[in-house]
Structure 1
Amino acid sequence: MTAAELLLGTVVLVGASVQRVTGIGFALVTAPALALLVGPGQGVLVSNCAAGAISAVGLCGGWRRVRVSAMVPLVLAAACTVPAGAWVADRLPERVLLTAIGLTVTAAVLLVIGGVRVAALRGRAGAVVAGAASGFLNSSAGVGGPALSLYAVNARWPVREFVPNAQFYGVLVNLFSIAAKGLPALAAPGWLLVASGVAGGAVLGRLLGDRLSERQARRLVLGLALLGALATLAKGVLG
């Protein structure tokens, strides 16, 4: 078991903990680090697998609060754009993909921090726009959560309602992404550490959820995401 594999498990543990608390944030926190550890293409795949798994764990306790009718346009729109995102990511050089992931996560963090209000992101049409953007970004860069978060802000969803719906969406959109691209090429120790990170993150996230306020959790997610995004952007630009 190498140091890189141990670091991979640690990154997944941190991301899973964050997502267990907030409903989103796994890819924001981990996508840049995973891109640096195992390459941008494989990093996105690992992010899709782990984010889908931790979303499923979180959904077990909150599935009764899922608004299926509100999620249908989001999920259908994402299903239409996931293949396009996978196609683009498969054809970009590694340096370009690293730069794209860094820029995308940085922009997403700044938009979420700003709480952008856009009339086009309200109602059924807004759900289609947000779902389409989220599906494309999830399969190409592993970061589909911010588009969903911006939709929820503009639709004025309370946090208690957003978390289970985000987890429901996370399960499906990551399954779509895995179906479009396949599983990551990890050795057995890597898979074991990813699974352990997801399981440990589910437990740690539940404990942290009782101790962190919503504002503290939000700052933690965005701060970690921004640091990782800037590091990935620098790696892509400098080669």
Structure 2
Amino acid sequence: MTTGLLIVVLASIFVGALAQRIAGLGFALLISPFLVIILGAHAGVLMVNVCGLVSSLLIMFRVWKDVDWSMYRWLTLPAVIGSIPASIAAVYLPAAPMAVIVGAIVLVALGASLILARNSVVVTGNPAKAVAGFASGVTNAVAGVGGPAVSAYAVMARWPQRPFAATLQPFFVTIAIVTLSVKLSMDPGQMPPFSVLAWVLIGVMIIGGIYAGEVLQKHIRDDHVRFAVIVIAFLGAGTAMAKGIVDLMA
């Protein structure tokens, strides 16, 4: 990888970690399409899983007291059930269709979230939690994007932002561990061949983004952050999808 591409990767990771700390999600939405373009479909999604695991793990200890553990359990078990077969399938998907799937999932998820944000529907009960968790596990394994499904549930269930953002962190940690374990046990060669220095810089960007998010959290409204995440994610997803379609046609 060239120095220029590495800088783009590092910048994307920094901004993703910043958004994750402020809004509770947004990391994968922001960086998944761009990493798929830069690293390729399989390595890009795996990289999102790795970075998402690290960022959520670091944030989790900062928001531990606000985690709703009952909600975590209802979301996580179905997510694990969905992520295992989806992780296996993702290993065998060709790169070009995988890029199209990543872009399409992000675009559909973003569109659905915008519609739901203006919807007066209210959902209750544990089955809705289970469905959201299962869908999140599948999309996280295939596209590295697990947030939209649980975000849609949070909107329709009127789940307050603070416990929602906190509970997502151990949830993301768990499904990332499961997904990475399955994928790397089947194909260890998927891991991007970064140098030790590059991995150190990636870790620094994640920590720096989380710290910057904590500082900015006091001055920036959550809805402004989410709007910025949506705009950037739309651009990245559209680009990734277009690249995948061009590769398929070639």
Q: TM-score, normalised by structure 2?
A: 0.90
2:193 matched to 1:186?
yes
Q: Judge conservation of contact 1:17–1:204 (CA < 8 Å) in 2.
A: yes
Tell me the equivalent position of 2:216. 208
Mark the CA change 1:237 to 1:217 in structure 2 (over 3 Å): closer, same or farther. same
Instruction: State how many pairs are aligned.
Output: 239
User: In terms of mean alpha carbon deviation, does 205-214 or 177-186 score higher?
Assistant: 177-186
2:233 matched to 1:232?
no
User: In terms of mean alpha carbon deviation, does 96-105 or 179-188 score higher?
Assistant: 179-188
- Map of 1:1-239 to 2, 5 A cutoff? 2-115=3-116, 122-182=124-184, 184-187=191-194, 188-239=196-247
User: In terms of mean alpha carbon deviation, does 123-132 or 207-216 score higher?
Assistant: 207-216
User: In terms of mean alpha carbon deviation, does 205-214 or 13-22 score higher?
Assistant: 205-214
SS of residue in 2 equivalent to 1:16: helix
Shift of residue 193 of structure 1?
2.4
Mark the CA change 1:180 to 1:193 in structure 2 (over 3 Å): closer, same or farther. same
Mark the CA change 1:172 to 1:115 in structure 2 (over 3 Å): closer, same or farther. same
Q: Percent identity?
A: 31
Q: Structure 2 regions of 5+ residues with no counterpart?
A: none
Mark the CA change 1:121 to 1:82 in structure 2 (over 3 Å): closer, same or farther. farther
Mark the CA change 1:118 to 1:39 in structure 2 (over 3 Å): closer, same or farther. farther
Q: Judge conservation of contact 2:106–2:234 (CA < 8 Å) in 1.
A: yes
Shift of residue 118 of structure 1?
9.5
RMSD: 1.7
Q: Judge conservation of contact 1:135–1:144 (CA < 8 Å) in 2.
A: yes
Shift of residue 191 of structure 1?
1.4
* In structure 1, C-alpha distance between the alignment counterparts of 2:14 and 2:193, rounded to whole Å: 17
* In structure 1, C-alpha distance between the alignment counterparts of 2:207 and 2:223, rounded to whole Å: 25
Q: Structure 1 regions of 5+ residues with no counterpart?
A: none
Shift of residue 124 of structure 1?
0.7
Structure 1 counterpart of 2:152, which letter? L
Per-residue deviation, residues 17-61 of structure 1 (Å, max 9, x unmatched): 111111011000000001011111111111111111111222212
Mark the CA change 1:231 to 1:161 in structure 2 (over 3 Å): closer, same or farther. same
Structure 2 counterpart of 1:8, which letter? V
Q: TM-score, normalised by structure 1?
A: 0.94
Per-residue deviation, residues 78-115 of structure 1 (Å, max 9, x unmatched): 11111111122112111101111111000011111112
* In structure 2, C-alpha distance between the alignment counterparts of 1:81 and 1:21, rounded to whole Å: 28
Q: Judge conservation of contact 2:136–2:150 (CA < 8 Å) in 1.
A: yes
Shift of residue 119 of structure 1?
7.0
Q: Judge conservation of contact 2:71–2:167 (CA < 8 Å) in 1.
A: no
